[in-house]
Amino acid sequence: MAATDTLPNTTLRVSRIVNASPDRVYRAWSSAEQLKKWHAPFDYVVAEATVDLRVGGRFRIAMKPPDKDVSNVACGEYREIVPNKKLVFTWNWEKDTDKVGETLVTIVFNARGNETEIVLTHERFPNSETRDHHTKGWNGCVDKLAAYLT
C-alpha cells in the first residue's frame, strides 16, 4: 500500500462548535502569536511557534510540559489554504521516537450562525494506537482553543 493511502482505522476526526466567527477561528490557527496561547494539550504550553502561511510554507510548534524542557515539536508544510474556510498541512514530529512519520491534517471551518464548527481530520497514521494517542492530544488542543476564543 502506498504511503498516501488512508485506512479508515488510522484516521481521526475531531469536531467542535466554538463561539467565534470562522475568521476569528482561522486567525487562531494561522497566527504564530495566537497559536502560542492555546496550541498544546492538557497542561502543556507552547514555548515557541512559527508560521509561514503560504502553500509550501512551514510551521513549527514547540510544546512544553510543566517544569520540563520542550519535549514535543510538531512541524509541517502547508498544502492548501482557503482563508476562513480550510487549512491542509503535513504533520510530523522533529523527534519521531514513535516512528509515526509524516501525516496529513485537514481543518475545515464551517459557519454556524455566530459560531464555527471546526472539523479536524488527521490521517495516515501507521496504526490505531498512534491515532488514539493523537486523538487525545487534538481534543485537548481544541478544548483550549474553545476556551481561548471565549
Angle subtended at Cα 87 by Cα 86 and Cα 93, rounded to the nearest 5 degrees: 155
Q: What is the pLDDT of residue 8?
A: 54
Which residues, in sequence order, are bridge partners of residue 63? 46, 72
Q: What is the pLDDT of residue 100?
A: 79
Q: What is the pLDDT of residue 24?
A: 98
Q: How many CB atoms lie within 10 A of CB 134?
A: 19
Q: What is the pLDDT of residue 68?
A: 85
pLDDT less than 70: residues of the chain: 1-8, 70, 96-98
Q: What is the pLDDT of residue 27?
A: 98
Q: What is the pLDDT of residue 104?
A: 97
Please tell me what DSSP assigns to residue 10.
G
pTM of the model: 0.90
Q: What is the pLDDT of residue 2?
A: 41
- The single residue listed with the C-alpha cell 483550549 is 144
Nearest to 90 by CA among 99, 98, 79: 79
Burial of 40 (0-12, 13-18, 19+ CB in 10 A): buried
Grid cell, residue 56, equals: 509550501
Q: Are strands 12-18 and 72-82 parallel, antiparallel or unpaired?
A: unpaired
Q: What is the pLDDT of residue 90?
A: 98
What are the E-state strand segments in the chain? 12-18, 45-51, 58-64, 72-82, 86-93, 103-112, 115-123
- The single residue listed with the C-alpha cell 495566537 is 34
